[in-house]
Chain A
Amino acid sequence: DADVTQTPRNRITKTGKRIMLECSQTKGHDRMYWYRQDPGLGLRLIYYSFDVKDINKGEISDGYSVSRQAQAKFSLSLESAIPNQTALYFCATRTGQDDTGELFFGEGSRLTVL
């Protein structure tokens, strides 16, 4: 089983719909992240969390919100999806208690907004 699991893996939705992408991890890491990947733009950070009570915006947080329900769970929500949020979304965790640890990624959630 994967250490970082994302659901759903694929989702097609319509403009204006609310979407939630879920991430769970079995690695016991405190630090979790949400990225999106777009062709030609690479990976960009949406939100990150250092523990259940510590959630921070990344470089492209507008239009997104997150919830850290437990150490192992970090969800990304699109309150009202728009077509330019069509992308491949990745959840990641990092080892350790500082920024020197290794990053581990989930398999990704492909979202298409029509």
Chain B
Amino acid sequence: KQEVTQIPAALSVPEGENLVLNCSFTDSAIYNLQWFRQDPGKGLTSLLLIQSSQREQTSGRLNASLDKSSGRSTLYIAASQPGDSATYLCAVYLRAGGTSYGKLTFGQGTILTVHP
């Protein structure tokens, strides 16, 4: 059974800091890994999608890396801003055989607060 763990559970930083969020998974037979942010009472916004064959993806101040062999992904946020405050979720999509749908497993999330 795929387990996805996100560390830390919560993080509070001053504006301007660079920070790293961690996501680990137990089964390396993944299709891809996707990072989302969720604002309170809102839906999930896709940040970055990394395919199993890729090592990293970048979008603006965000950089996500993937190390399948060690079962880890990190989300790096540069020069954090108060608007970055949200819950960050990683989701790992596990391969399935044949035409079966694989299993998408979400981590519990990291609650990020960036204070001015």
Contact = CB atoms under 8 A, between A and B. Distances in A.
Interface of A: 4, 40, 42-43, 45, 48, 56, 59, 90, 92, 99-100, 102-108, 110
Interface string B80-116: 0000000000010101000001111111110000000
A95 B58 CA distance: 19
Contacts of A103: 34, 44, 46, 91, 104
Contact of B34 (A48, A102, A107, A110): A102
A42 B41 CA distance: 14
Contact of A100 (B36, B51, B101): B51
Majority SS of interface residues in chain A? strand
Contact of B43 (A48, A59, A99, A108): A108
Contacts of B32: 99-100
Interface range, B side: 20 to 34
B61 interface: no
A108 B42 contact: yes
B31 interface: yes
A110 B43 CA distance: 11
Contacts of A43: 91, 106
A1 B32 CA distance: 28
B62 interface: no
A99 B91 CA distance: 13
B106 A42 contact: yes
A103 B105 CA distance: 13
A48 B46 contact: no
A4 to B, nearest CB: 8
B49 interface: yes
Contact of A99 (B31, B107, B108): B31
Nearest to A41: B108
Query: Considering residues B49, B102, B109, which has the most beta carbons from chain A within 10 angstroms of its beta carbon?
Result: B49
Nearest to B102: A99
Given A42-B106, A43-B106, A99-B31, A105 B101 contact: no
